[in-house]
Structure 1
């Protein structure tokens, strides 16, 4: 058991997240960098202010879209601290942690000191592991922080139903984010979980599968599109919530499917294409860090066309309201 934990705190954060998830998409903001790759906190603060003004359900700084994998500990402290400052208690701030459990605990303590509300436990580094090891990884991270945890299964991390029940028994583990899109397995997990346990659709460009995830009881999702076009993300979320299938189909056909087809051309585009789209909109996010690479001119031209299509759809929607 987490020696620091109090179950009421975890339940309070879980409830705030639940309310936020019903209200809007989950924002996974980018991290602003200068052209030389150094952290640009002034630009990041301006960018975060714009992200929060769009009223997402919660904000997840320093996660996959925020290039957690490339941040050192002091940069991480600064990024999470700015997110907490800008959020100012208005919505939950969930910071990413990862690597092995010992390093994850170091990041967890930094996030706690910076004022984060909860943590997203990113997949561990490099090795595959058995279910007992995956459970122990979560247990050891939970033992090192007061903050509630959301486990993230993707890549080499996949929980079975028995393992999920075991991590759900840890007092500060409040949810699971899924990036595998195996709906058969996910349905088994939702049925095995205790009442109130949170589930998130964490597939890349989650809107593509949002309708399918909702059918197995997982309507909440993270939105990379919110990182560069909150108005598009909000319009799709509204159409999905209102079960406007015609509008959802239009969004998928005209915007999301072309975006995903472009994203799938190059490894790492799930992040670098999002940053490129943000730059096209004049947002101060800068380039990606190695090992990612920024898109070339040909792909930027396609991205610009897709982005304009999405923004035109938003404009058309506003004219009809």
Structure 2
């Protein structure tokens, strides 16, 4: 599998009654698609995977697949309790997804062998390609990633820990044992902030939550990074991404709820976030609005 460009992780809209709004989701995905993302990852972290039941999950993935209509690959999330992850894998395949992002199991932490067993069980339930997500309690060893990378369906690895030493060892081990076609992703929140460092250790792909509400800026940053425009990249970091990270760090969960607020500020009424996340305060929404003005000036 080949992926390139900015990776789009859409939010999941909720209507005033709190139900998933498939119509708004399709509009959100199609609006992002017009800006040329490399792939769409539906019902993942930014899409509040943790807050969706199984039927809602399938609705989100099905809607994204239909909205994309084959233009780019569509991945669905699969994680949490192992039976739920397996069920999501089967539902995503039924919905026509092109692959899965295997999210960490929640509440519990297991050793490397346990994580390998978890991924193997998801892989056995579906024929879809899998990208593994290292984050929270899901911390893989280089040898564990090599074992999993030898599975025909495991095609990539996404890092959300930010341990560059560990990630470098994983990249080198997989490249030596499996080859150059294996995909590596930077999955840190606001990944633009760290992507230069990840590129330096052989991780070219990253997820962009900013693409949800400022796709022109997201693409401008990606272009600056790809072409070696260091002055442009640094300017965008200083004027937009660093202030966004400072705002994001004010409240746990803002990595998702700020993005959703940004989509609302763009005029798409996607609703708020579900508990345990909270929506941004009016003062924080105003700061975000001013940052979007900065994004528009650069985009």
TM-score range, shorter chain: over 0.9
Which residue matches 1:103? Answer: 84
Which residue matches 2:35? Answer: 54
Which residue matches 1:220? Answer: 205
TM-score, length-normalised on structure 1? 0.90
1:233 is aligned to 2:221: no
Which residue matches 1:288? Answer: 273
1:153 is aligned to 2:154: no
Post-superposition shift, 1:138?
0.5
Q: d(CA) in 1 for partners of 2:192 and 2:16?
A: 31
1:269 is aligned to 2:243: no
CA contact (8 A) 1:161 1:188 kept: yes
CA contact (8 A) 1:93 1:118 kept: yes
Post-superposition shift, 1:158?
0.9
Q: d(CA) in 2 for partners of 1:210 and 1:259?
A: 15
1:244 is aligned to 2:225: no
CA RMSD of aligned residues (A): 0.9
CA contact (8 A) 1:44 1:284 kept: no
Post-superposition shift, 1:54?
1.2
Post-superposition shift, 1:101?
2.1
Post-superposition shift, 1:291?
1.0
Q: d(CA) in 1 for partners of 2:269 and 2:225?
A: 30
Post-superposition shift, 1:207?
0.1
Post-superposition shift, 1:40?
1.0
Q: Secondary structure at the match of 1:302?
A: helix
Residues 116-155 of structure 1: pairs in structure 2 closer than 5 A: 116-155=97-136
TM-score, length-normalised on structure 2? 0.97
Which residue matches 1:11? Answer: none
Q: Secondary structure at the match of 1:60?
A: strand
Post-superposition shift, 1:35?
2.7
**Structure 1 regions of 5+ residues with no counterpart?**
1-13, 315-321
Q: Secondary structure at the match of 1:277?
A: helix
Which residue matches 1:89? Answer: 70
Q: How many residues align?
A: 295
Residues 245-260 of structure 1: pairs in structure 2 closer than 5 A: 245-260=230-245
Post-superposition shift, 1:100?
2.3
Q: Secondary structure at the match of 2:123?
A: helix
Q: d(CA) in 1 for partners of 2:296 and 2:279?
A: 22
Post-superposition shift, 1:284?
3.2
1:44 is aligned to 2:25: yes
Q: d(CA) in 1 for partners of 2:275 and 2:15?
A: 13
1:192 is aligned to 2:192: no
Q: d(CA) in 1 for partners of 2:152 and 2:269?
A: 39
